[in-house]
Amino acid sequence: MRVVYLLVVVFCLGLLIGCADVPQQEIDNAQAALEAAKNAGADQYVPDQYNAAKSQLDDALAKIEEEKGGLFASYDEAIQMLQNATQAAEAAAAAVPAAKEKVKQEVESLLAQVPEAVEKAKTMWRRAPRGKGTREALQLIKNDIEATAAQVEQVNQAHEAGDYLTARQRAQALLDKLQSLQAELQR
């Protein structure tokens, strides 16, 4: 009888020791770090780092769910995964200013190229041969050049507002359009 009683006590102690609490504080820390990274713009400016941190958090949460169903739940591995996710999210947030500065410089470089591209397109337009049937096409090209040049203000507004990704996209689109018009004028 004593042996049975002793086995029951050992089994109950094992259950109590094995029933660890879900590491809620570590979960909250990792989620807060990921949210802070997103608010800093990591999902836009350093998406690979942000997505890696998010993936680590998702893996840790899956590990926790897996452990919850076990008889002797141990969250040690999940805690380490959560700490790694927190560190990765913090690193992503810390990388945003440098990435933003790089995009800002790209925008400024692109914007510096636009006036020259506009002037080149205008010069090519002025030198284009005019003949029967080409006047209408040349007028459309001239209108496109002027419309494209007018969009520089939108790029500047996005740049000044700190929306460097939009500014870069628009500036590149302007240059692409101007190059397309130049190619059309060379035909």
Q: Is 41 helix (H, G, I), strand (E, B) or coil?
A: coil
pLDDT at residue number 7: 46
Asked if the model's pLDDT at residue 18 lies above 60, the reply is no
**CB contact burial 19-43 (16+ within 10 A = b; e otherwise):** eeeebeebbebbbebbeebbebbbb
The pLDDT confidence band at residue 74, using thresholds 50, 70 and 90, is confident
Q: Is 84 helix (H, G, I), strand (E, B) or coil?
A: helix
Task: Name the residue ranges covered by the structural domains of the chain.
Answer: 21-96, 99-185
Average pLDDT, the chain: 88
The predicted-structure confidence for 86-143, as pLDDT tens digits, reads as follows 999 999 999 999 999 999 999 999 999 999 999 999 999 888 887 767 788 888 989 9
pLDDT at residue number 20: 65
**CB contact burial 154-184 (16+ within 10 A = b; e otherwise):** ebeebbeeebbbbbbebbeebbebbeebbeb
